[in-house]
Structure formats: C-alpha cells, structure tokens
Structure 1
Amino acid sequence: MSTDKNILRVRLGAAAHGGHSVARHEGRVIFVRHGIPGEEVSIALRDAGEKSRFWRGDVVEVHEASEHRVPHFWAAADSLRSAERGVLPVGGAEFGHISLEHQRELKGQIFTEQLERLGKIDAAEHGFTGVRTPEGESEDALGWRTRTAFAVDSKGRLAMSPFRSNDLVPVKEMPLAHPKINELKLWELPLLGISRIEVAVGSGEDAGVLVLFVEDGTHTGAAGRAAKRLPEWASAASVTQVGGSVADGRGVLQRLRGRTWLSESVAGHDYRITGEGFWQIHRLAPATLVERVMAQLAPGYGARVADLYAGAGLFSAPLAKAVGDDGMVLSIEGAPGTSKDAVKNLREFPQAVISQGRVEKTLSRELNERKAKLDSIVLDPPRTGAGKAAVSAMVRSGAKKISYVSCDPASFARDTADLAAAGFRLEEIDVIDLYPHTHHMETVGLFRRH
C-alpha cells in the first residue's frame, strides 16, 4: 500500500449521482470518479480537508477490475493514463472506461435512487423500465456532440478543464464531438488572445459549422487571425465582451466570415439558432424529444399549450402546428437572444405567443392578460429544475397534463415531489441515454392532474 497520505486503497460501493462511486475510509464517505462499483482501486484524494463533510477522489490504479471495464477511448479523459502523466483527466467523458451497456445500467440505478430518495416515488411503479438507447445511435456512441466548448491556456493551446478544477489540460481532439468539429483542427490555430472557443454544428446532412471565438482583450484582432486559418466551409464570429453571453444579451457578436447562425430541421420544421443560442446537444436529441413530447401531450386542434423554458422554439413549432389557428401556444424563454431566435422560428404561426422573461412570472402574467387557462404544458427547465415558484404557476394555469423534459434526475425528482404535492401524478417515464460516456441522462415524464 502506498505511503502517500493522499493515496488510499478502497473498495468501491454503489454508483452515486454526479458520476461517482461511493467508498468509505475510517467512517469517512468518499465520492470517487473514474471507477466502477465493486472494484478495488487506489484513489488520489481531492477536496480532502479534515473538516470536510465528505472527500472526493479519482481512481489512479485498479487492483481488481470490474468485468465491465473497457479501455478508455480518450487519453485526456482517462484517469489512469492521466495519473501516469501527473495531470488530472479532463471532464466530459467520465464514463468512457465503462461498457455502454453497463453505463446505462448504472444510470438506471442512479435514476431510481434519486426518484425514491428525493421524489418519494418508486420508479418501477410509475413505468420506468431502464435507460434506453436513442434510435439511430452509433455502435460506439461517439461523435454525437453538436455543441462543444474549449478553453485556451496561457500558451495559446486548445484546452479543457478537469472536473471541479481551474487547471487547463491541452487537447488535440474531442472524440464525443461531431466529426466536423474535429476536422476543424482548432489545436493548430493561433489562439493567443482568445479565452474560449464554442463550436456548433448543424444536424443536417450538409451541416454548417459556426465557431465562436471569445477574446480576452490582450491581443487585438486575435479572433480574426484565427478565423482566417479555418477551413473555407466553416463560419466564424467573435464575442468581444469577456465573460458575456450572446444568448443572454450581454456579449457583442461580430461576424468574421460566413454566417452567425446555424439552420436546423426537425419534424419538417426549419429553425435558426444564432450564436450561443441554446439547442439540444446530441445529434439525435431534437427529433427524439419532439416525438416523445408530442406523443405524451397529443394536443388537439384548438388546444392551449405553454412551452416553458422554450429556447428557440423546438417544441413550440410542432405544438403550434397541432393546435392550429384556433389554438394557442405560449412560448416562454428567459434568455433574450434565444427568445429572438424563437420569434424568427415561429413567425409563420400567429397562434404562437412568444414572451421573454422569468417563467414563473411571465406565465401568470400572460394568462391573466388573456383571461385564459391552459390544457397542457411542456416543461424543459435548466439543469437546476423548475422549482417551487414555477410549479405554483403551472398549478394555477389550469393545465391537466405536463410533459417534463429533464437533463438531471435530482432536480426532476425534487420537482416530481412538488408536483405530486400539488395534485399531479407521474404516469409515464422515459429515460434516454442522450449523453453517452457521461453520467448525464435525459428524462421525459408525463404528469397528469388528478
């Protein structure tokens, strides 16, 4: 056994939300990344202060490997190879050492535990049968990210950060990213003076590519020089305000070449996504989620529906088609830039009302002004969930059905408990692996007022 006090040999217990396994040492709980439940491993401690409520650690050596362990597809994210180089593994592929089948089994266990502990609900009794693979997924589940962000280190090298760390690790590939993102070879560009790069790829056969360079203010024209080195088929823009966000209206977006937006097409409708505007990350996610939401709500002609945290209108457009001229779709989004995209994307539907603002306040205000009640709601909140105020607003709306799209099982479980207390019963659960090789998962749940 190592004499290094920062290295412990432990047996890994159950999987925990957040990409961890739980280990114990002298009564102390340790959340361990890059292992598999049941393995005996050595871990390097992190966040291990004596007064800490729990510790954290990364696997650096495996003594008894799980049958589900496979070689990691990405050296920069592999904890074992990173330990040999004396660096931390980058985030974004923390399940890459686990077989895909077992990844989904672990996610199912985590979802069940979260729903039971935080939502006070037995997942199986409410229709949960396991995490499923989206139709059309590749065999290795790589190349699915249509949106990817990178940092740039002090030497001008393309980089990414490890989990809960401000360190920057140089990278020369991102295997989960769409192939066109890796074809850009961003690591070969002159990047001094740039602090962050965000890349988005359209999901169509002739997918466009948009590269956003965020300048750090130290080198005038850095983004322009980098853009000139991109392949001709890539568009580029710069964000000139450090720390700003185009989607939130705080950054200044300047076109460098090509377009400052991407086109997407889902279920026969075309969308325009500008700059950093939000769009589902997995290449199959938009179509997969639209199909599930529409199947759950089945809105008829003349129905009144709200699309909350609507983004650029992914769900609003098919809902507007379904409810027709006599119906209403109230599309509410908080980010000004993304809401402007929704205005463009829904301009052909007079029955779509686009409103920008905080969901819990805007929903009540819009319904009060129209003296209207809702039939159903699509709820697609950020990772933190909807929260009690938004749940209260939905209860007052009169809606009988809610299709809840969630990327976090913990916030989904908490909101489930609040919805249950308000008289909504969870009737259907569909958990989809739209984030393979990571601990994340997507849930689409149908709630019905009883």
Structure 2
Amino acid sequence: MSSTRRPASRGRRPRAKAAKGMSYVGRRFEVEIGPVAHGGHFVARVELEDASRVVFVRHALPGERAVVEITEGSAGDRFWRGDAVETLEASTERVAPPCPYAGPGRCGGCDFQHVALPAQRDLKATVVREQLVRLGGLDAADPLLADLVVEAVPGDVDGLRWRTRQRYATTPDGGRGMRKYRSHEVIPVDDCLIASPEAREPARGTITERVEVEGTEHTFKVAADGFWQVHPGAPTALVSAVLGALAPEPGDTVLDLYAGVGLFSAFLADRVGPDGQVVAVEGDRTASALSTGNVAGAEVTAGDVGTVVAGMGERSFDLVVLDPPREGARRKVVDAVAARSPRKVAYVACDPAALARDVAIFAEHGYRLRTLRAFDLFPMTHHVECVALLTRERP
C-alpha cells in the first residue's frame, strides 16, 4: 500500500481556464440520462439549435429524465458538467440520500448517496468493464468481465461509518466542513456519515495497525499522516486476494512495488519462508523506513520505483506485487517488471482506467489478465479497488 495514494478524494478542484465563448453555467436543460461514466458521472446530451453537447451529470441515474443545471461549460467546450437538480422520471434504484449534506451544491465527497447500495456496486462493475475494454483491449464478452461483481467487505454499516481517517476543511467562522465538488468553497458539516465515530484526523507520529489474514496476524507501524487504507475491511480483503492470486510457494522470490509500510510483504514473507526472499520498494522514505521494522528479513529500498527496478540488472523474480498510486505504474515500471520475467503479477488498482492502461502495456510483453476481483472499499463514492492477476502466455 503506497503511502502516496489518496483513493477517496473529496473531488478535484478545477484549474482556472479561459472561457471558450459564451458561458452556459447556470442554464438548465431537460435531458435523458445515459450510462455511467468513470468518475461518478452519468452521460447526457444537450441539444442546441446548431449543435449538441455531451454533459457529464452528477446526482443522476441511467434511464432517468432530469433537469440538469450546467455547472461548467461554454460554447467552445467539447463537453460540459452539470448537476441533476430535478428528477422528472426516477430510476427504481434511486433512494433518498442518508446524508443531509449530499446533493447538488452541497458536499462533494460522495457521488452515489442517491443510489441503492447494490446498484452502486453494479455501476462500479460497469465502469471497470468499460475501462478494460476501451483502454485495456479486452473483449466485453470475456467471462472475466461479464461475470465481474464488486464485492462488499466487512466494516461498514450499509455503506456508512467506514472511514477510519477523516480530514475536515475549516469554514470561514472556524467550524468544520467539507468542500463542494470541484470548488474551494466550504460548507458546514456537523457529521460526515461515511466517517467512523472513531475516525482520526491526520496527525504526527506513528500509530499501530493490526491485520489478520487466514489466522495469521501482523502488526504494522504506520505514520499517523501517511497512507493506510481507510476502510477497516480493506487490508484483510486485499491481502487475501493477493495471496490467492499469486499462490506463493516456499522458496519463491517476490518483488513488492509501491510497498508502503510492508502490508503485502509481511504476509508474503510468511508464505515464501526462510528459503525465499521478499524485496520491497517504496517511494516514500518514511513508509519505507517503517517497513524495515514491520517486515523482518525483507530487502527494503526507498526510491523512485521505476528507477530502482530498472537498475536491478538481470535480477529475476518469481512473483511481483504492484500497488501503485492513482496514476498507475505506467510504462517505465511495467517494462521493468516484465523484464524480470515473473510467472505471476498481482496488480492492486485504485483506478480502473490506470489498471486498464497498464494491462495493455503488459499485453505487449505477453502478459494476459487471468483473474480479476473488485472490492467496494469506498461505499457511497465512485471509487473501487481491483486486484488483477497477470501471467505470461505460454508458446
């Protein structure tokens, strides 16, 4: 788990850009809502007198008719953004948001509060499939994709109260709040419903996390302001999925990239035993230093992952774990991994688009996607975590 990842962001704030013609911000249009798109939006189209525009709409559902208010967009833009401010024909999957701060013009943290929880997971599975087909070159009819489900994990209450770490913004009067979607504006929020009652705000120092997988427990020292999965069920679910995919054997050599504080390394070291070897590489020096104490006997290196792996010469590995930040591993790292000729690669992805792009690069080296699991580690948001297994095709 890389210490640099931020998988459940509160909505990116846009860069300032020059308007391209007349602004349509604030204009309202009646539209039919189309399919889900990556990022928590739904695709709609506004018909103008001389043209049409694609609008990425929040707070909607496929098949609905809605009044959409444009929140970003001018005459010269290729697409616009908007909010569904009135539902004319509602989907059967629409529910009343449990959080009073969810909805157009309110907190930007949750994308799917208005969607029944099983339908949220179906939407996420649809996005994963679409990205792997469009960017990864997979066949939509492949059972690996067609049968994909997003799995719930223990630790939330109907999709709520799961965030173990929570950062609030400060309102102008000194209170706590949340930012609006793609905005610096802060609205007061008394209680975030996806936050655990025991949620911690980032602080200095270290904390201790305990993880049990299949009867084996490890304790990890983690920087209080560093990365650790915020859903309490995430570490166990991800480690179990990685171990199941790789099936490590005694004596195997394992390369753990973006290793964070050593979550995967610790459990992999158990499996490969004293005759095996775990090599952990992490870009964040604090996390890497902590991993040396968390995983006794591992070979730990702090540094840019691509540079470190590319500098390993002819060294080969039986197994590789990739757990990159949101932008993915990218070509430099994938090329260097493939050059080690591992028999299996487990890829832990917090962004399906990045996963799909890297799967396509692995395919250039003869590696194919063999298994795929998806986990609902961020209920009420559009985020989804995947664990993919890649192996090299045999002649």
Task: Assess same fold via TM > 0.5.
Answer: yes
2:124 is matched with 107
Structure 1: distance between partners of 2:115 and 2:369: 31
Structure 2: distance between partners of 1:56 and 1:440: 19
User: In the superposition, relative to structure 1, how do residues 438 and 167 fare at CA in structure 2: closer, same or farther (>3 Å)?
Assistant: same
Aligned pairs (5 A) from 1:32-51: 32-51=57-76
2:300 is matched with 354
Instruction: List runs of 5+ in structure 1 lacking aligned partners.
Output: 80-87, 182-198, 200-210, 213-236, 238-252, 254-258
Question: Alpha-carbon deviations, 1:77-127, whole Å to 9, x = none?
Answer: 223xxxxxxxx2212211010001111111121111111111110255252
Aligned pairs (5 A) from 1:242-321: 253=204, 260-267=206-213, 268-321=217-270
2:46 is matched with 25
Task: Give the deviation of 1:131 after TM superposition.
Answer: 2.3
Contact 2:26 2:69 in 1 (8 A): no
Contact 1:134 1:288 in 2 (8 A): no
Q: 2:383 aligns with which of 440, 443, 447?
A: 440
Question: Alpha-carbon deviations, 1:34-66, whole Å to 9, x = none?
Answer: 100111111221111222111000111111111
User: In the superposition, relative to structure 1, how do residues 123 and 408 fare at CA in structure 2: closer, same or farther (>3 Å)?
Assistant: farther
Provide the identity percentage: 40
Residue 388 (1) aligns with residue 331 (2): yes
Residue 401 (1) aligns with residue 314 (2): no
Q: 1:91 aligns with which of 87, 92, 108?
A: 108
User: In the superposition, relative to structure 1, how do residues 164 and 318 fare at CA in structure 2: closer, same or farther (>3 Å)?
Assistant: same
Contact 2:29 2:69 in 1 (8 A): yes
Q: 1:344 aligns with which of 270, 293, 312?
A: 293
Task: Give the deviation of 1:16 after TM superposition.
Answer: 0.5
Give the TM-score of the pair, scaled to structure 2. Answer: 0.88
SS at match of 2:163: coil
Contact 2:132 2:138 in 1 (8 A): yes
- Superposition misfits of 4+ residues, deviation over 6 angstroms: none
Contact 2:164 2:231 in 1 (8 A): yes
User: In the superposition, relative to structure 1, how do residues 68 and 278 fare at CA in structure 2: closer, same or farther (>3 Å)?
Assistant: same
Structure 2: distance between partners of 1:40 and 1:30: 14
Task: Give the deviation of 1:286 after TM superposition.
Answer: 0.2
SS at match of 1:77: coil
Contact 2:72 2:81 in 1 (8 A): yes
Q: 1:118 aligns with which of 122, 129, 135?
A: 135
Residue 331 (1) aligns with residue 348 (2): no
Give the TM-score of the pair, scaled to structure 1. Answer: 0.77
The letter of the residue matching 1:399 is P
Residue 12 (1) aligns with residue 33 (2): yes
Contact 1:126 1:428 in 2 (8 A): no
SS at match of 1:75: coil
Task: Give the deviation of 1:280 after TM superposition.
Answer: 1.2
User: In the superposition, relative to structure 1, how do residues 137 and 263 fare at CA in structure 2: closer, same or farther (>3 Å)?
Assistant: closer
Structure 1: distance between partners of 2:391 and 2:232: 30
The letter of the residue matching 2:388 is G
Task: Give the deviation of 1:266 after TM superposition.
Answer: 3.2
Structure 1: distance between partners of 2:308 and 2:178: 37
Moved more, 377-386 or 264-273: 264-273
2:12 is matched with none
2:159 is matched with 141
Q: 2:309 aligns with which of 359, 363, 376?
A: 363
Structure 2: distance between partners of 1:278 and 1:109: 28
Task: Give the deviation of 1:5 after TM superposition.
Answer: 5.7
SS at match of 1:119: coil
Structure 2: distance between partners of 1:340 and 1:124: 45
SS at match of 2:198: helix
Structure 1: distance between partners of 2:333 and 2:84: 40
When the two structures are aligned, how many residues end up with a matched partner?
Answer: 362
